[in-house]
Structure 1
Amino acid sequence: MTDRPTSTDTTTFPDPVYARTVLAPLYGHAKTVFAEPLMRINRAHCVMLAETGILAGDEARQIASALAAIEASDILAPSPYTGAHEDLFFEVEGALKARVGNELGGKLHTGRSRNDLDHAIFRLRLKAVIDAMLDVARTTAWTMLDAARANKGEIIVAYTHGQPAQPTTYGHYLAGALETLLADIGRLDAARALVDRSPMGAAAITTTGFPVDRARMAGLLGFAEPTLNSYASIAGVDYVTAPYSALALMMLHLGRVVQDLQFWTSFEVGQLYVANSLVQISSIMPQKRNPVPIEHMRHLASTALGQAETVVRTMHNTPFTDMNDSEAEVQVTGLAAFATAGRVLDLLAAVLGGARVEPENVRRNIDRSCITITELADTLVRDEGLSFREGHEIASAVATAVVAGKGVLSDAYPAFAAAFERLAGRPSRLDEDAFRAAVGPEHFVAVRERHGGPGPAAMAAALETYRARLGALEEAAVHHAEREAVAAAALSEAFGALSGAGG
């Protein structure tokens, strides 16, 4: 029997391929996206360790002073990845040890893990972009509300299945879009509540034997509260999936409105005019008015939807544990979704703020499409004492005549009079003026005063409801901001007292 030669692994970390494909990008992300929350957590953790007696007062002061000096250095500035440290966390820890010694420098990490630390970093960063997105979304919602109020009497053609259906008002349409946007904002705000919980103190999985104060850490970092279960603190990804799902729905819903705007601004329909400042010309066709910002909204909404769904789907079939699938790389991918969605909202507010209805085109389309005929049937029931089926048959005969070449607003009365006498067995009591009023779009809208309808009183009530809902969302945002400002001030004061840097 011969001895098998012993294999010796002479490689050193990091492998160049691993460094280039994984570590270098992550290092870049940490410098540009996650450095501030990392240092904020370091400051808060140092304060908490001192307050609980886990660190002696002099130890905490030395560490705090060193952290302040490190933050003032260029260590957080963008720089190439050299492999000298695995990542930014270890680079900062190395800088701390260089200033206070290995033993004391290593004490900052007492009672925590990279697991709870990383998820706290991601939550802080995600909460900030959610707040920015909610601010943009509310601004767009206010623009939509103002446009709905200004256009509550502007008649337009409403479409179903791609065909003219009934007249309504542009304000009524915008109010419907606003109702959905407010629900989307509410969903994103509700998802924010899941993000607004601190995992610090969960450590790797099971918390720690050190008497850390999880509530104090949550308060110093501006979280509403600590997470409860320590396993879920590092394994749960609902704080990721919920906001990105909400963002995807917002883009899906707004994309449908954008599609309508594209259709309504076409030459053949032409019921909505887009301001010249948002219209591009053709390089060869001098007559063209191209409202291409609408096209950009459409593809940007689809892009943001895809980016958000990428994050959600990355979580699919992953284990319920701490894992890289939910961490820095995918978090950065997700941030792009918020940036793209913000562009959609900004552009939509600009378009809606300058758009106007084209009344002549609307009236032409109503005249030819006969979309007021439903109210004629209703009028015959109310004023002529007919059954709805009888009224419907007469109105149907009028619609047939209109489709054959007569306009319902212009020359349909003779066809109506003949159809009424033929089907009802007597002349109608409606003269031509009464008929024109019955089939007029203004009358159609005015009598639809049911809850949620386009009638003036119904619209006034709805718009006030939307204003109140939007106001409540604004108040919630102010509450979030005030609480986080108090937390930031408390951390600054407590850390400043330790470091001697005055915050």
Structure 2
Amino acid sequence: MSDNSVFPHPVYKDTVLAPLFEGAKAHHVDAFRRINQAHLVMLVEEGILPQSTGHKLATALRAIDEEVDVQSLTYTGEVEDYFFLVEAELKKRLGPDLAGALHTARSRNDMDHTVFKLGLQKRADELIRSLYSLVQAMHETAAREKETLIVAYTHGQPAQPSTFGHYLLAASEVLLRDLDRLMLARHQIEKCPMGAAAITTSGFPISRTYIAELLGFEAPLENAYGCIASVDYITGLYSAIKLIFVHLGRVIQDFQFWSAFEVGQLYVPNALVQISSIMPQKRNPVPIEHMRHLCSVTAGRCDMMVNTMHNTPFTDMNDSEGEVQQAGYATFESGGRAIDLLAAFIPALSINEERVAKTSDAACITITELADTLVREESISFRQAHEIAAATAKKVIADGKSLAEAYEDFHAAFEKMTERDTHLNEAAYRKAVSARHFVNVRKRFGGPAPVAIEDSLERQIAHFDQLKTEFEHIQTRKNNANQMREKAFDALLNNRGE
């Protein structure tokens, strides 16, 4: 029978504290180290601790880094968590009074949220870099395929001709907007909670701006209550990430449909195809299925994070802390895998031009341009032109022949509707119903014609470059902060203050 007066209860130790300790070992040791260094430098710089105390604490912290193999530790319950492990190690080296000086004007509350933000920054940045590779792959493939005809589908049915480049630019345009949202959410984890302490800041003359700068944050998060109570940095980030994978999942689903035997307009190369163990004729493009389920898993993990925050109190609480944060990190693992695979998959694809042509003919998908041509060339209303085109398409489909071969059917439909002869000869008719002509005349802003594709790609690249520049500025600030913090900490190590 366990002693209920002694903390921790064995079951609580095994079900809560031990998993949290393992999570801290896996994810947060470096963040705690950086926070300890930055906080100590700030305390000495602001005159809250003397130089001599700062030197002793810095020396002990460095010794802990060098002497304690954290990854080999097994949780025993002797200390509550990783924070108290470090404090216990400081006490061994310095005694309780001096060791406790490091915790002046701070709390596990502001430390924890700072740790989590640092962890999310690192993972968000890795995700953003992967997304940049995906955008680049989309852009390069769109440029290569700007004249490659495809059948565009609406409501699951062949609709109109377009190009693979046009399709990919539609997808990358969405992805760039998703990156805008992600970068906006990324900025919300650039505000530092340190200095909020438990909930109300401190009576000590701390510099919240300086510790934020030492940790590479953009600025301190202002309201101290909000520093430990608000979770919008979690819900905002995971909501932005979810949208990316919801939207990419739709493109991946199109690839599944396009590569089906009955459609067959998308060819997946052998390096990305698996065979059947029993059916020798099968070519299974299963990477599509893996990407689809990885996107769904990632979106579900984002929902888990947002939903966990639902109906929680607006205060410090474990619902938004260690165990939840560690569970959320799996989002970046599954999401990163999906993006890396998609970035390799898209450039490897090709379009089966023969199947595109066959479907285009069979489904009369250029018929809209015939109607448009009649409006321009015959000076009739679009409604009249639409009915002539519809009658032509109906006869072509019923007879199972190519639209290009249906000039006589068109001629008859035109005479019946207008009671006169058409100005279009057979050559002009054939041009009007060709897929290439259909695409080339649609050179308006955002259209599929090569000139429109080139203009769209140029604008997207400019947008992309702007995002990359913004991201590089963040990374430069963080690198500079790391150098500044390490230099200031080394100065404490080297200056005894005596």
Q: TM class, shorter-chain normalised?
A: over 0.9
Work out the CA distance in 2 between the residues paired with 1:335 and 1:10.
34
Residue 436 of structure 1 is matched in structure 2 by: 430
Contact kept? 1:32, 1:78, Cα under 8 Å: no
Aligned to 2:325, which of 328, 331, 339? 331
Work out the CA distance in 1 between the residues paired with 2:350 and 2:334.
26
Work out the CA distance in 2 between the residues paired with 1:79 and 1:309.
33
Residue 36 of structure 1 is matched in structure 2 by: 30
Contact kept? 1:398, 1:416, Cα under 8 Å: yes
Contact kept? 1:116, 1:200, Cα under 8 Å: yes
- Unaligned runs of 5+ residues in structure 1 are 1-8
CA deviation vs aligned residue, 1:293-346 (integer Å, no higher than 9, x gap): 001000010000001110011000011101101101111111101111111111
Deviates more, 1:454-463 or 1:231-240: 454-463
Q: Does 1:466 align with 2:466?
A: no
Aligned to 1:481, which of 475, 481, 485? 475
Residue 22 of structure 1 is matched in structure 2 by: 16
Residue 83 of structure 1 is matched in structure 2 by: 77
Deviation at 1:10, TM superposition (A): 5.5
Aligned to 1:275, which of 269, 272, 297? 269
Contact kept? 2:142, 2:164, Cα under 8 Å: yes
CA deviation vs aligned residue, 1:124-148 (integer Å, no higher than 9, x gap): 0100100000000011000001011
Deviation at 1:77, TM superposition (A): 1.9
Q: Does 1:288 align with 2:279?
A: no
CA deviation vs aligned residue, 1:401-428 (integer Å, no higher than 9, x gap): 1221333444222211111111111221
Deviation at 1:197, TM superposition (A): 0.9
Work out the CA distance in 1 between the residues paired with 2:303 and 2:46.
42
Work out the CA distance in 2 between the residues paired with 1:51 and 1:404.
86
Deviation at 1:430, TM superposition (A): 1.3
Aligned to 1:426, which of 391, 406, 420? 420
Residue 494 of structure 2 is matched in structure 1 by: 500
CA deviation vs aligned residue, 1:132-176 (integer Å, no higher than 9, x gap): 000000110000010111111111011111111111111000000
Aligned to 1:61, which of 55, 60, 70? 55
Deviation at 1:217, TM superposition (A): 0.2
User: What's the TM-score, normalizing by structure 2?
Assistant: 0.98
Contact kept? 1:282, 1:290, Cα under 8 Å: yes
Q: Does 1:239 align with 2:236?
A: no
Work out the CA distance in 1 between the residues paired with 2:323 and 2:13.
14
Residue 351 of structure 2 is matched in structure 1 by: 357
Q: Secondary structure at the match of 1:167?
A: strand
Q: Does 1:160 align with 2:154?
A: yes
AA paired with 2:474? H
CA deviation vs aligned residue, 1:263-314 (integer Å, no higher than 9, x gap): 0000111111111110111111111111100010000100000011100110
AA paired with 1:245? S
Q: Does 1:151 align with 2:145?
A: yes
Deviation at 1:196, TM superposition (A): 0.7
Contact kept? 1:197, 1:224, Cα under 8 Å: yes
Deviates more, 1:428-437 or 1:232-241: 428-437
Work out the CA distance in 1 between the residues paired with 2:472 and 2:231.
27
AA paired with 1:62? K
Deviation at 1:11, TM superposition (A): 2.6
Work out the CA distance in 2 between the residues paired with 1:399 and 1:40.
70
CA deviation vs aligned residue, 1:416-444 (integer Å, no higher than 9, x gap): 11111111112212122111110111111
Residue 177 of structure 1 is matched in structure 2 by: 171
Aligned to 1:304, which of 298, 304, 307? 298
Q: Secondary structure at the match of 1:404?
A: helix
Work out the CA distance in 2 between the residues paired with 1:313 and 1:437.
56
Residue 4 of structure 1 is matched in structure 2 by: none
CA deviation vs aligned residue, 1:194-223 (integer Å, no higher than 9, x gap): 001110000111100001110000000000
Work out the CA distance in 1 between the residues paired with 2:209 and 2:26.
29
Q: Secondary structure at the match of 1:77?
A: helix
Work out the CA distance in 2 between the residues paired with 1:77 and 1:324.
24
Contact kept? 1:381, 1:388, Cα under 8 Å: yes
Work out the CA distance in 1 between the residues paired with 2:474 and 2:403.
54
Aligned pairs, number: 493
AA paired with 2:340? D
Deviation at 1:79, TM superposition (A): 2.3
For the aligned residue pairs, the C-alpha RMSD in angstroms reads 1.1
Work out the CA distance in 1 between the residues paired with 2:230 and 2:154.
42
AA paired with 1:345? I
Q: Secondary structure at the match of 1:166?
A: strand
Residue 115 of structure 1 is matched in structure 2 by: 109
User: What's the TM-score, normalizing by structure 1?
Assistant: 0.97
Deviation at 1:75, TM superposition (A): 4.1
Contact kept? 1:133, 1:342, Cα under 8 Å: yes
Residue 5 of structure 1 is matched in structure 2 by: none
How has the CA–CA distance of structure 1 residues 55 and 437 changed in structure 2, closer, same or farther, with 3 Å as cutoff?
Answer: same
Q: Does 1:386 align with 2:380?
A: yes
Work out the CA distance in 2 between the residues paired with 1:60 and 1:46.
7
Work out the CA distance in 2 between the residues paired with 1:132 and 1:78.
27
Aligned to 1:216, which of 205, 210, 213? 210
CA deviation vs aligned residue, 1:441-461 (integer Å, no higher than 9, x gap): 111111111111112222111
Contact kept? 2:147, 2:165, Cα under 8 Å: yes
Regions of 4+ moved over 3 Å:
406-410
Work out the CA distance in 1 between the residues paired with 2:122 and 2:452.
38
Contact kept? 2:302, 2:331, Cα under 8 Å: yes
CA deviation vs aligned residue, 1:14-59 (integer Å, no higher than 9, x gap): 1111011100000000111011101110011110000011111100
Contact kept? 1:28, 1:78, Cα under 8 Å: no
Contact kept? 2:393, 2:403, Cα under 8 Å: no
Contact kept? 2:105, 2:195, Cα under 8 Å: yes
Work out the CA distance in 2 between the residues paired with 1:121 and 1:491.
16
Q: Secondary structure at the match of 1:450?
A: coil
